[in-house]
Amino acid sequence: MQVPARIDNWIDGSSRPARSGSVMDVVDPATGARVCSMAAAGAADVADAQAAAARAFVAWGARPAAERAELLDRLADLVERNLERLATLESIDSGKPLALARSVDIPRAASNLRFFAEAVRAWQPDEEYRTAHAHSRVIRRPAGVAGCISPWNLPLYLFTWKIAPALAAGCTVVAKPSEETPMTAAALGELSAEAGFPAGVLNVVHGRGPECGAAVVAHPSIPVITFTGGTETGARIMQTAGPMFKRVALELGGKNPTIVFEDADFEAALSGAVRAGFQNQGQICLCGSRVLVQRGIYERFRDAFVERVRALRVGDPLEAGTEQGSLVSQAHQTKVSAAVERARAEGGRVLCGGRAPDAAALPERVRGGAYWLPTVIDGLPMGCATNQEEIFGPVVTIQPFDDDREAVALANQSTFGLAANVWTGSHARGMAVAERLEFGIVWINAWLLRDLRVPFGGVKRSGVGREGGDEALRFFTEPKSVTWPA
C-alpha cells in the first residue's frame, strides 16, 4: 500500500505546503512508527483556503442543485472505486481494523455523498404562505463559506457527513480533519478534482486544532461552523463563534446507556451490547459505555457479556479476523489507562481487560502499538466519575436495575444526552422508555442503525443542532422572507 510521502493542504484545486513550511509527523498508532509528514497549517493557510472558497462560491452557489448533486455522485463513485486504498489508509492512520474500514467507514462515506446528492435533488427549499392580507415567499440561499471540523474516530465517514450537505446546499467549504487522521480527507480533496469539482469548492487544511482549527472558527468570513469532537473543544468554539454571531452546529461527546430488559431477545441484546460497547475500540461517540441490565437476568447477562468481550480478537488491524485494533494514539491509550485506574480507585471491579495486552500476545509488527484490552467493570454507582465522564475507549461499566422507572432514571443521570439503545421484546415498552429518555437518538433493539433522513445529534453536553436530512440542508442555507400585499 502506497502511503503518500507527504500530506499537503488542498487549496484552490491544488496541493500546497503550509505557508510557514511547518510540518508534523503522521504516526501509525498500531505500530508506533512514523508513516509520513503532514503540513501544519496556520491562520495564513486558512485565509488562503477561505479566499479560494469565497471566489468559488459565486458560481457554485448559483449552480443548479442537480448539477451539484451530479458531482457529489461522481465523487461517491470515486470513493467506491478507491475503496481498498481508502480503507487501508484509514486503518493505518487510526489503528482501526481494516475489515471495519472496508465494510463500514468507507462505504458509509460514499453513501453520505450519495444521500445528500439525492436529498438536494428532491429538496424544495422555498416556501409560500398566504393570508387574507399578505402573500409571502421564503427563499433560501446557500450561506457562503462553511467551516467543517471533524474528529479522528470515523475520519472519512464524519468528514463526508459534514461536507456533503454543505456542498449540496451550495456552500463552498474549508474543512479541517483531525491531525491524527489526515490521510483520507487529503485523498478526498484530490478525488474531488478528478470528479470535476471546480477549484476552491472543497478546500482541506491540515494542522493542529488550536492553531488551524481555531483559525477556521475565528475567520470573520466563514459564517457557518459545523464541528464534531469533544465537549470541551465545542465550548471553546462557542466562545469564539458566539460573539461573532456565527451559525454553529456542535456534535459532541456521549456517555450512552445500553438498556437490557428481561423480556429482550437475550442473544440479540448480548451481541448488540458488545458491538455498541466495543466497535472501533469504543471510540465512537454513540458507543454504549454504560450497560444497564434488569436484575432478573443480570448475572447471566453479565457473565455472558464478559465471556464475549474477552473473546474479541485483539490484533494487527491489517490482518483479516482482527476485531479490535489499536487505539488512535499512545496519548489516548495513556488517558484510557488513567480512566481505568480511576475506576479501580472508585471501587470498580475489573471483570476483564483493565490493562494493555502483553506484547508477546500481539503479532510482532504491532508490538509498539497503542493497544488496550476490552474492559468490563462492575460495582460502580452511577454518580461516580467513571460513569459520568466520557472515556472514549474500550471500557464499559455494567450494573443492574429493577424496573423501567429505575432504568430511565439511571440512563438520564448524565450530563450528556447523545444516544441510548434499548433492548426489549415489547415495542410498546421500548417506545414508552424512549419517550422518557433525555437523548437525541434512541434505538430499540438496534445500535447504529441509520436512516440518513432523520435528525442526528444530542442534547445537554452532547451538542447543539442536528445533522442529517433536510435539517442539514437547512443549516447550510440562509432564509429570507419576502412579503407583499395580497
Question: Annotated catalytic sites, by residue?
Answer: 251, 285
Query: Could you tell me which of 89, 222, 85, 105 has the C-alpha nearest to residue 160?
Result: 105
- Considering the rule CB under 6 A, would residue 465 count as an interface residue with ligand NDP? no
Question: Residues 139 to 158: which contact ligand NDP by CB under 6 A?
Answer: 149-153, 158
Q: Ramachandran region of residue 196, left (φ > 0), alpha (ψ -120 to 50) or beta? A: left
Q: Where does this chain touch ligand NDP (CB under 6 A) — which range of 38-46, 209-217, 294-302, 378-386?
A: 209-217
Of residues 236, 436, 460, 474, which one binds ligand NDP by CB under 6 A?
236
Q: Where does this chain touch ligand NDP (CB under 6 A) — which range of 173-181, 351-359, 405-413, 469-477?
A: 173-181
Compute the least distance from the CB of residue 291 to ligand NDP, in Å.
18
- Considering the rule CB under 6 A, would residue 209 count as an interface residue with ligand NDP? yes
Of residues 29, 42, 97, 254, which one binds ligand NDP by CB under 6 A?
254
- Binding residues for ligand NDP, rule CB under 6 A, total 33
Residues 6+ apart with CB under 8 A from 157: 104, 105, 106, 108, 109, 112
- Considering the rule CB under 6 A, would residue 370 count as an interface residue with ligand NDP? no
| Residue closer to ligand NDP (CB basis): 234 or 430 | 234
Q: Ramachandran region of residue 469, left (φ > 0), alpha (ψ -120 to 50) or beta? A: left
Compute the least distance from the CB of residue 455 to ligand NDP, in Å.
12
- Considering the rule CB under 6 A, would residue 242 count as an interface residue with ligand NDP? no
Residues 6+ apart with CB under 8 A from 43: 211, 215, 218
Quick check: 167 and 146 in contact, CB under 8 A? no
| Residue closer to ligand NDP (CB basis): 41 or 292 | 41
- Considering the rule CB under 6 A, would residue 214 count as an interface residue with ligand NDP? yes
Element (DSSP H or E) covering residue 274:
helix 266-278
The span from the CA of 290 to the CA of 474, in Å, is 34
- Considering the rule CB under 6 A, would residue 455 count as an interface residue with ligand NDP? no
Q: Ramachandran region of residue 409, left (φ > 0), alpha (ψ -120 to 50) or beta? A: alpha
Q: Where does this chain touch ligand NDP (CB under 6 A) — which range of 123-131, 252-260, 301-309, 444-452?
A: 252-260
Q: Is the dihedral of CA 276, 281, 284, 285 positive or negative?
A: positive
Annotate each residue in 258-297 with x if it binds ligand NDP (CB under 6 A) or - if it does not, as one string: ---------------------------x------------
Quick check: 417 and 257 in contact, CB under 8 A? no
Grid cell listed for 110: 460514499
Cross-strand bridge partners of residue 469: none
Residues 6+ apart with CB under 8 A from 129: 135, 136, 137, 138
The span from the CA of 108 to the CA of 280, in Å, is 15
**Residue 62 corresponds to which amino acid?**
A
Question: Residues 406 to 445: which contact ligand NDP by CB under 6 A?
Answer: 418
Of residues 228, 280, 289, 386, which one binds ligand NDP by CB under 6 A?
228
| Residue closer to ligand NDP (CB basis): 151 or 315 | 151
Contact positions vs ligand NDP (CB under 6 A): 149-153, 158, 176-180, 208-210, 213-214, 217, 228-230, 233, 236-237, 251-254, 285, 390, 392, 418, 458, 463
